[in-house]
């Protein structure tokens, strides 16, 4: 009698970093096509970085802010060399790239909650912005966060509460499915997303992670696969549109945070490691940015529609 064996996973290995700026919590990689640059943030150090891919790692530029900056996006009709959207402590803001100054567009709530900060987020097919909020760095982590939707008003709408660590948000190639990962639940959820009005329905579990780490940020390729970073497991998972694990990228440091396609290359951010968390070699590469060609292109991000 024959038995069915588990399908073999596609596998890639990364051994060297592309760029190492010693990020404490590297996150939010975003491809800026206008300048062929990769943007990313360091949430703990309150920094925005970008590197021109033609010029290479030596071109890395850093802007120091006075607030946690957690994610970036381009704004419809605005040159990103001048202004971009950023997720910050109390909501979303527009950053002037020339001056380094930012101005709030909208806040999570009418009264600012000092315990919370923003985390991961993304613009949706309707130009709205979804942004998680969670316990700020240095405070005792609680399930007190929200998944917030910014639709043009001065205050966001809470779409899900409570959440402990709200992370990746993205859409399928046909825009009809939205995915969301609350990390500590080790689960990726899916909803039917209405292309007409952006309403959600039919919540379901898309993928449940069984490893010791926590799924963090992800991007989706043109075939509908999720490329999902796993914090604490030294890897990125390739999850099929059916929610099956079909591949993995192994990396030389533990805390992998997010991914971003540039052509067929996947750029991968990471966070630093605590003393004793792993080998000296793995700790040395914590917070670096990695890259690997995975042979498929990613979906383009949606643009945020800024309402005057």
Q: Please name the residue that has the structure tokens 């809470």.
A: 158
**How many CB atoms lie under 10 A from the CB of residue 66?**
10
Q: How far apart are CA 106 and CA 259, in angstroms?
A: 27
Cis, peptide link before residue 101, omega less than 30° from 0: no
- The C-alpha atoms of residue 180 and residue 187 are separated, in whole angstroms, by 8
In 3D space, the residue among 150, 139, 34 whose CA is nearest the CA of residue 87 turns out to be 150
Instruction: Say which of 216, 221, 280, 293 is annotated catalytic.
Output: 216
Cβ-contact 129, 303 below 8 angstroms? no
Residue 285 CA to residue 276 CA, distance in Å, equals: 14
Whole-number Å distance between alpha carbons of 23 and 44: 8
Closest CA to 69 of 120, 143, 145: 120
**Angstrom distance (rounded) from CA 35 to CA 111:** 38
Structure tokens belonging to residue 285: 């590469």
E strands, 194-251, where?
200-208, 214-220, 226-231, 235-239, 245-250
CA distance 83 to 66: 18
* CB-CB contact of 203 with 191 (8 Å): yes
Element containing residue 280 per DSSP (H, E)? helix 280-284
Is 221 an active-site residue? Answer: no
Q: Where in the sequence numbering do the catalytic residues fall?
A: 216
């Amino acid at each position: 009698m024959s038995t069915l064996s588990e399908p073999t996973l596609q596998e890639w290995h990364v051994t060297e970093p592309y760029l190492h700026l010693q990020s404490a919590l590297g996150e939010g990689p975003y491809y800026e096509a206008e300048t062929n640059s990769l943007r990313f943030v360091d949430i703990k150090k309150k920094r925005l970085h970008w590197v021109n891919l033609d010029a290479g790692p030596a071109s890395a530029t850093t802007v120091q802010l006075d607030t946690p900056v957690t994610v970036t996006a381009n704004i419809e009709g605005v040159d990103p060399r001048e202004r971009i959207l950023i997720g910050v402590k109390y909501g979303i803001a527009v950053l002037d790239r020339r001056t380094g100054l930012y101005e709030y567009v909208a806040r999570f709530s009418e009264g600012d909650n000092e315990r919370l900060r923003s985390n991961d987020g993304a613009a949706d097919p309707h130009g709205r912005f979804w942004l998680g909020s969670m316990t700020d760095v240095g405070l005792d982590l609680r399930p007190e966060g929200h998944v917030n939707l910014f639709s043009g008003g001065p205050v966001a709408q809470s779409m899900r509460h409570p959440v402990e660590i709200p992370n990746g948000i993205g859409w399928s190639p046909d825009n009809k499915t939205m995915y969301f990962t609350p990390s500590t639940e080790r689960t990726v959820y899916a909803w039917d997303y209405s292309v007409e009005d952006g309403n959600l329905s039919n919540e379901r579990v898309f993928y449940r992670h069984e490893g010791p780490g926590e799924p963090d940020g992800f991007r989706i390729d043109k075939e509908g696969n999720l490329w999902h970073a796993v914090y604490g497991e030294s890897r990125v998972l390739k999850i099929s549109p059916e929610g099956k694990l079909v591949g993995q990228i192994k990396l030389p440091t533990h805390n992998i945070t997010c991914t971003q396609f540039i052509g067929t290359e996947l750029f991968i951010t990471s966070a630093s490691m605590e003393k004793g968390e792993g080998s000296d070699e793995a700790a040395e590469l914590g917070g670096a940015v990695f890259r690997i060609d995975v042979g498929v292109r990613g979906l383009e991000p949606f643009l945020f529609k800024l309402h005057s």
